[in-house]
A and B are shown apart, each in its own frame.
Chain A
């Protein structure tokens, strides 16, 4: 089925370890983004990309790196994990904002639950 695929679904890391959260979409969406969800704080934007080779920071970018070498993939890298990065991470994609309406809405992945100990 078409959509956004996130891997892994669950991950436990030790403080200081590095890892990459994977996000792939097969809808030819130009826009891709990463969010973290913490209790009482909603979803906060980490990084986003408007196309291959173009990325920018969101509200909470510190401690995370991204790159966008293809339209389909937008991995999120934690270079040195900290307990404060314990969270649920969502990837979302959409067509670029060249119009309006729900057709330009967002498709979300199923999330990655990350625990840093």
Chain B
């Protein structure tokens, strides 16, 4: 069964510094997708970045990058140049399957990031 593990319940980072949020996953399916979502205090789920299991390069979206290490089954989110607005809960999630699958998205328990001025 698929599983997502986020071992950092909370983290602090100084404004303008980079921060890495850890995510490991477990699946027996060779085809899967990994997502990172941001949930600010207002509660909405904001999509940040996606990595497919067959993607050759690590995904990047602006200040967000995904450090994808397939052999280690890790998909860490790196936020560069942290801003006060980055303070939020961050969730790693995984979807198994490639065509014809159920499209289930399974979440980790999240990491609460606090950016300090």
Contact = CB atoms under 8 A, between A and B. Distances in A.
A42 B100 contact: no
Given A97-B95, A97-B99, A105-B35, A88 B43 contact: yes
Interface in A17-70: 31, 33, 35, 40-45, 48, 50, 56, 58-59
B40 interface: no
Nearest to A100: B52
Contacts of B100: 97-98
Tell me the dominant secondary structure on chain B's binding face. loop
Interface residues on B, range: 20 to 34
Interface of A: 31, 33, 35, 40-45, 48, 50, 56, 58-59, 88, 90, 92, 94, 96-102, 104-106, 108, 110-111
Interface of B: 4, 6, 9, 31, 33, 35, 43-45, 47, 50, 52, 54, 91, 93, 95, 97-110
